[in-house]
Amino acid sequence: MTESYSPESACLEAILLVGGQGTRLRPLTLSTPKPLLPTAGVPFLAHQLAKARESGVRRVVFATSYRASMFAEAFGDGSAFGLSLEYITEQAPLGTGGAIRNAAEALTCGPDAPVLVLNGDILSGHDIRAQVAAHLARQAAVTLHLTEVDDPSRFGCVPTDAGGRVTAFLEKTPNPVTNRINAGCYVFQRSCIDRIPAGRVVSVERETFPGLIEAGELVLGYADRSYWLDVGTPAAFVQGSCDLVLGRLRSPALPGATGDVLALPRSRVSPSAKVSGGTVVGPGAVVESDAGVHGSVLGAGCVVESGAVVVDSVVGPGAVIASGAVLRGAVIGDEAVVGSGNELLAGARVWPGVHLSPGAVRFSSDV
């Protein structure tokens, strides 16, 4: 490694993987890519970009695919974040490795430079500078952030030896050998990215990393126990937004002080309403008298009428939750209307523009 890339002085380049369609988050992602969904008052990626800037990144290449033009519309040239941004679009899905290789065409650094690679659906409190420092100190080919989870059987686990060298990538198994999993943040040596085959589907987990291990190159694990969350499901998306508002994870992009509620400009919350649990009340949204909202995300211009209850839910922009309606763990699409007396419980999803008549539904998974 060249001395110009010390963790204190490096002006890192990064690749941000944002090409997925976010199918597990539908209907929220029907019109908006998952990384652009409003999260604690700003697009989700704003939190990642602000953290990257704090960690020494100065230039970011977006690896886009689904609704690619919306990313440039949201972030422009990156000057608002003190970053230089470039956008590269996949014409066909290339997998994680293929997307990294495709985006690398826009990198400007040399073969010995470290390149940070971030997944666009992860909230993490880990120390990126420390991960880069470990990568440089050990002269690794790739350094992976590893996190510990309670149930590693739901993930691919990543065992390491006593020195931190990754020894294998194991697919989901009922008897994991470790509770450490791939946390989705990598530091690559640029020359390793250039060796990924171009123009075809490549998985870093199934092909790139195992290939490097087999070749005897150092794939290093950087393990810690800091905050980590994959926001790929509605429940996790709501949790991530609430955790940011509550201050469980610090973000320089948060548009206000941490606390029980984040009420954005032009929103109106009745003094008799009970709003808590890290709820975000979006721009122009209204929470009427005696309504109860806890741990939820209320989109721009939506209305929660008097006496309605919204818990652990997402209410899309322009939607209306009528008096007496109850949402618990539900997702309500843009401009939908949930009539009085409806009770939508965990897993219920209402598609954009759907109008539920008063008292029509006690529970439904998809309406």
Distance CA 51, CA 249 (A): 11
Distance CA 186, CA 166 (A): 13
| Helix/strand/coil percent split, the chain, to 5 | 25, 30, 50
Taking CA atoms, 35 is separated from 20, 28, 155, 226, 318, in Å, by 9, 11, 21, 21, 20
Where in 35-154 does DSSP place strands (E)?
A: 38-39, 42-43, 57-64, 84-89, 114-119, 122-124, 142-148
Among all chains, which residue has been given the structure tokens 């598609």?
Answer: 351
Asked if 26 and 235 touch (Cβ cutoff 8 Å), the reply is no
Is residue 172 annotated as a catalytic residue, yes or no? yes
Q: Provide the CA 343 distance to its chain's centre, in angstroms.
A: 29
Backbone CA torsion sign across 33, 38, 43, 45: negative
Structure token pair of residue 26: 């539908």
Amino acid present at 167? T
Omega before 174 cis (within 30°)? no
Distance CA 334, CA 58 (A): 35
The catalytic residues are 172
